[in-house]
Amino acid sequence: MNEVVTIEIEVAPETAQALTDPRRRQAVGRLVDRMVRPTVDDDPLAAVLAATRRAAREAGLTDADIDAEIAAYRAERRG
């Protein structure tokens, strides 16, 4: 199925800015598709994690970028 539709969702301003990149927007769209409709063989949590990893790679993020984001998130939660 190659048909897509545009929807509107509420996100933080920083997220909206990041989604001005068409490749990133497409990756997020694929992630949402997988979250809403995981395949029968996929465990929903495993499917989300795998889709997130793929979307990050497709958006050009490296393992170091991802590790830095996780570290920053954890630091914010502690602070």
Residue 42 within a domain: yes
Residue 62 within a domain: yes
Condensed to tens digits (0 to 9), the pLDDT of residues 18-67 reads: 999 999 999 998 888 877 876 656 677 877 888 888 898 899 998 899 88
DSSP per position, the chain: ------------HHHHHHTTSHHHHHHHHHHHHHHHS--TTS-HHHHHHHHHHHHHHHTT--HHHHHHHHHHHHHHHH-
Residue 35 within a domain: yes
Residue 11 within a domain: no
Residue whose C-alpha is closest to residue 59's, from 32, 15, 25 = 25
> What does the pLDDT read at residue 41?
63
Q: Domain span at residue 53? A: 17-78
Residue 8 within a domain: no
Condensed to tens digits (0 to 9), the pLDDT of residues 22-35 reads: 999 999 988 888 77
Residue 7 within a domain: no
> What does the pLDDT read at residue 39?
66
Residue 39 within a domain: yes
Residue 27 within a domain: yes
